[in-house]
A and B are shown apart, each in its own frame.
Chain A
Amino acid sequence: MKRYPAIKIKDGKRYFYRFTMNQRIQHIILAWSVVTLVLTGMPLKFSNSAWAPYLYALFGGIKAAPIVHITTGVILLILFVYHIGYLAYVIYKKQILPLKQKEGLSLMKVLIILAKQPLVPNLKDAFDIRDLMKYLFFLTNKRPDGDNFTWKEKFDYWAPFWGMIIIGLSGLIIWNKELATHIVPGWFLNFSLIAHSDEALLAALFLFIWHWYNVHFSISVFPMGTVFLTGYMSEELMAEEHYEHYVKVMKEAGLEHEILPPHGAHAHESSEGGHSA
């Protein structure tokens, strides 16, 4: 853990540790495979468009692109299975096992642990969305104080999670249609195809517009967010998006007196562009 302190100081600026190396590698594989899958899948979904044959040709056309698609899909599914295992392992080792040793287990306790995982949506997210709306409609200039993971990040996590199940299962069925139809009827393929392609479109648009806007294109991070590579987030961004968590981490590090005010992140804007209002 010494290699990754919770707060790292570089060039006089504070950076906050957010993602472990393991998580970052998982994310890179996920990102690479999703991009490849979208690029090899969308030309089929929109095979009538003018761009489709050119994009498809880049992946070897109809002879090779499906193989690329299936191979990448399998890699993504393996990653998914690994992720579930990883998650179970981490939760078991870090939370359930200590609890078991300390006070013994009950189903209720395990459920409570699961429900309190940082990525599980909770009431605070609902309040944050309400506060964000107030902020966006100019009713206040206080942004919601995000916790360690904001509702946006939870959305970013659970949307692909659900997508992975739908797309993965339907993809497996379409790929192995000969085998699958020994179990399910043929018309199941019709539904698998619809689910596979429509859910994929949702996922692709969601990731490439919403997710990328939040992590790369929003002016707080533009031109590129680096947390997915370094694992560390800058102090300004931390204060803007995860204020509650930021305050907590700062206090834990004994830096109470150096905590930025909630709108410190907007300082550069309010000083220069304030008159535009």
Chain B
Amino acid sequence: MKNLFYKIYMLGFMALTVFFIYIIWEVTFAHIIEEYYGRERALEIGQIVEQKKHEATKTSFEKIILESDEKIKHYLGYKILEERRIKGHFHHIGFQIGPDKRSYCVDCHGDMPHDHIKELRAFLNMHAFFVGCETCHVKLEGAQKTRVYKWYDRTTGELVESPVKGSAPGAYKAKIIPFERVDGKLQRIDSEDRMAFSREYREKEKSLSQAQKSRAKKLIHKIVSKQPAICEDCHQKEASLLPLADLGYPKERIDSIMSTEVVGMIKNYTKFYMPRMLHPGEELPKVEEKKAVKSEI
């Protein structure tokens, strides 16, 4: 027994010694080699980095803010403010929210999907940050209609308690998702079946023919209504689309959302921009394939 223990111990120590050799190499001779190549290739590496920067221009909220590596810690003495840094951005961001890993739509449409109407897109993206796409873009009718909405966690996708109380407005770790009624039972609109189908489509997209692709896209977008819900569907005192109280909004927040200030501003916007909002695809030429996907909504 003792002998076996010694054998195992020796084998372990042999591995450890090899590790030590590696460490010693790393802290000694490796430096000389590194320095030599560093001088030779400093410029070359710089060029590669520059190239990579150009390649990584795909813009998404997730990539830039939620998952960006470019973090900075401001040491203020009494506290440390840690946040993501956006080049050339003056104001501080200072919130830490994980990306939406669950959404049925984000994989294709990105997490800043609204870009057609210049004056409204930031507003719509702001809502999309905590309101699931299906909330506005799916209109349930008849037996399917439930008027049930719940919050799901951005990272885990699980249903969670309302995050509204105790968070800064809009900075929630969860998003709203509508429920539909299937065979008399309540079901998340982003059901496992739907998620699986769209995931499978993403995986097989390259091997599909054009006809197959468009069939699949039609199926995926089947639930999407022609015209999305508009601002006033929620921002009104009577018969708001979203049951805000059920979603955990305290009274003062509901009052603020329904306030004349918000509603008045929406009226202003509606007057100028809403006609275009209701018919998004029409004024903009469909150039890229990606945009074409959107126009099918």
Chain A residues in the interface with B (C-beta under 8 A):
201, 205, 209, 213, 217, 219, 222, 269, 272-273, 276
Contact = CB atoms under 8 A, between A and B. Distances in A.
A209 B20 contact: yes
B7 A222 contact: no
Given A209-B20, A272-B3, A273-B3, A201 B27 contact: yes
Contacts of A201: 27
Contacts of A222: 6, 9
Closest A-B pairs by Cβ, 6 of them = A272-B3, A219-B6, A273-B3, A209-B20, A205-B24, A201-B27
B13 interface: yes
B45 interface: no
16 contacts: A201-B27, A205-B20, A205-B24, A213-B13, A217-B13, A219-B6, A219-B9, A219-B10, A222-B6, A222-B9, A269-B3, A272-B3, A273-B3, A273-B6, A273-B7, A276-B7
Contacts of B27: 201
A189 to B, nearest CB: 21
Contacts of A217: 13
Nearest to A223: B9
A222 B12 CA distance: 14
Contacts of A205: 20, 24
B250 to A, nearest CB: 41
Nearest to B6: A219
Contacts of B7: 273, 276
Contacts of A269: 3
A205 B10 CA distance: 20
A201 B26 CA distance: 12
Contacts of A209: 20
Interface secondary structure of A, over-half rule = helix
Contacts of A276: 7
Contacts of A213: 13
Contacts of B3: 269, 272-273
A222 to B, nearest CB: 7
Interface in B1-32: 3, 6-7, 9-10, 13, 20, 24, 27
A219 B8 CA distance: 11
A104 B6 CA distance: 56
A209 to B, nearest CB: 6
Interface in B26-63: 27
A205 B20 CA distance: 9
Contacts of B20: 205, 209
Given A205-B20, A217-B13, 9 more contacts: A201-B27, A209-B20, A219-B6, A219-B9, A222-B6, A222-B9, A272-B3, A273-B3, A276-B7
A201 B10 CA distance: 26
B204 to A, nearest CB: 41
B65 to A, nearest CB: 24
Nearest to A45: B27
A201 B27 CA distance: 9
A273 B24 CA distance: 32
A219 B10 CA distance: 8
Nearest to B27: A201
Nearest to B13: A217
A213 B21 CA distance: 14
Nearest to B21: A209
A217 B10 CA distance: 10
Contacts of B24: 205
A222 B20 CA distance: 19
A209 B24 CA distance: 11
A276 B27 CA distance: 37
